[in-house]
Amino acid sequence: MNTIELVREIIATYRRHGWQLRRALLRRETLAGLSARGENLSEESGALPVSEAMIDALWFARPSAGGREAWELRHVAEAPFALFEMFEPDEEEEDRDDVRREMEAQMIERIGGTAEA
């Protein structure tokens, strides 16, 4: 399965479980593949923030108990690998962004930054 098909499959699986795609990290090659197909990633709420990265990974979020919000960074690969974080309702967005950047760095370190689907 190619990377773009895998992205679509992962998004569909997460949606079935109540997650919303919020952001994407995509390698230059994946971005070019989407562009060549005339495709983009978007959610019902509008345009999706997409950043060029060393890996292909998707950020999903959903509400959790106690007003918290669960975020998961899912590596785009056939073998599932994700990092998870729970944010408190009163947590500042800047603090959340710091945690998400740390998670992105951790994922890149764990998979070696040369992810191929």
Comparing CA positions, the residue from 85, 110, 113 lying closest to residue 99 is: 85
Write down the pLDDT at residue 116.
Answer: 45
- Alpha carbon of 49 to those of 24, 64, 78, 79, 111: distances in Å? 6, 22, 23, 25, 22
Question: For 63-99, how does the pLDDT look when each residue is reduced to its tens digit (9 = 90+)?
Answer: 999 999 999 999 999 988 999 999 999 999 999 999 9
* Average confidence (pLDDT) over 16-32: 93
Rounded Cα gap, residues 10 and 76, in angstroms? 8
Residue 67 token pair? 């007003």
